[in-house]
Structure 1
């Protein structure tokens, strides 16, 4: 399975063998060339000293070169010539013999140096190209056997993270990268199988919620109507304790109907069967209508609702009923968590990103940072020793988030413990109508 490692080792061994082998031959050739060049220079110099001696110092210098002379027969001739010069000058015949001997020796040296020059040139080329071949081979193996497969695998992993599962699994190569790809393929296949199972379970859950909600809402409507008749004295006038019990039963029936409606809305949203009826809606009347709707709940909790906005000529492109549902949910939550004699603030403004922002702020005990993401999940409520569970379904914020997402907006919360909480949502589609004309901002 270690094919890449084996190939890299093989090419590295071959490249290093070629490089060091020809580098050694290049070095020996260069040293030989250097020695022959020095001998050629010495021959020219010695020839000049012996054919035209000027003093005994020149002869002593010539004797130094003669002692190193090669080959033996040349050394013998030079020694004889030097002995003769110590006694007398050379005759023309002796000078010619010396010159012919040195010329012959110099010719041999020139031929050898020319051969070594070519040898050095070719060995330099071979050394260079062997090194270049090794680098190119290493680069090709690294790119096509390691980097490119790893890049392709990285792209598949990135697609997987972005929920793109449409590609086909390829047969991985039998090497180290292939082992990584095989592991990823097995993991991806397992995840895909689990996703299909989760989709089937989610579909079954949505169908169950839809069917159960429809089946429950019909008898609850009948129960609510019957309780209303009893409370109105149709059968007989009820005593005060009986009226209290009927009122409690009626309130709990209303709560169950709201829960069923929430479950139905959630099932429709998850099934993508929740079409929005968008239209241009004036902002201020929508906020004021929601404020009036919630005044009864706020009065019962001894809490006031303050509307704070100066966007008098703004219209938003939304489903009015659904945005009012989101506002009602946020305001009712704020009222639940705000202590008596306190205030809930409803604000609307245009933020620095040119988005219409609506905020609902309370004066409650706040939400810890680690819980701020959880509260938008289904059936989740934040509880602690200082903040006990408040009666509710745990679906309101999940539905609000789904509705704002359907509008292409965003929803969130800003809060610190013991400093209250501010829930907000942002919308893109709004326009200002100062007179009869408006400009859409997005």
Structure 2
């Protein structure tokens, strides 16, 4: 946890530091350039009339020739009075005719006149021109035309930022930038640390909560949850983790429930298989050992018992195979139209003998018309078989099992199978459709899978089944089937 906090702290602090350093650098650069442009434009505005005044008080040309002495003295005096300027005399084509500077310092022979013309014609423009001493560098200037008999014969061209002036300003600017950069770095670093600490405190507070809760959950505390009160991305993350934890806990509980059910299933199957198999083994051994001593009637009785037990084992295996296929979604419905009256009549005939043998009153109330339904007839036959077996097995002698068909709606009919048997307790009622849950039915023959199969088949048809029961009064199962139209 501490490692996470430290890692976040240094990474975010470094991030803020870099961002603020970049911002400081951009600010220093922008401020410096803005100040420089402001200073240059101000200087050009203030010194705009300078060249015009020089041109006014001098006569650089006498009879078409340059007055070298007067020009040199004037240029020298101007540069002495204002060391930040350099004065040049140009002819009307821009060629440099005269200047005051040591030999070799002036590198250009000609000046581009376009900026000079713009300067003279546009009194408000901020314009730079060529520096004769530094080719390729643009500097602020002042310029004025020299006229003779209203004809332009040349120009006074004054650079307002001389080499000496530039050298001094560059040195001062360099020192100023170092001081400004040093202050900016110190302020930026301190700001980054302070902001980093504040941000990290807010972030790691919730990150630590998330980390602690996840760690507790990992260690086995399945009730550990984050429950952040704040809003934002971390809150969304925390809610997603809590939802994931709830899903994991539900899955674990489901796995435990399935595992418990599996153990119960194996135990119950083992018990139910042991009884008929023991019976088969016992009677088979008796037949082998006492074959000569047993009469024919006794042998037939023993063989019938073996056959009955074998059929019971077969039915149990078939039920297990069927519920496995239903739960694995390997059974597909083959729906067709059929008469519900005919199907139930066949089922009554099939179970009539069983009902008579137990002295149970077995009745059916048919639909008024020959109602046609739409479903898988084979699967529906299996549903009725299991429900009727269940009803007959749990109804005592003298009781009643009633099948009724009632058309409550144009699109469906309701089928109810009701018995006057032992009933189901309210505690067991919610679990009777669970696989191998027999409850009170365990006192009767059966695999405990019949009702589970009924439930799965009806779910395949997207149908619900309702059950009502009262102890020692009876039980009724009812569901609806769609009418074919």
Q: TM-score, normalised by structure 2?
A: 0.43
Q: Which has the larger radius of gyration?
A: 2
Q: TM-score, normalised by structure 1?
A: 0.47
More helix by share: 1
More strand by share: 2
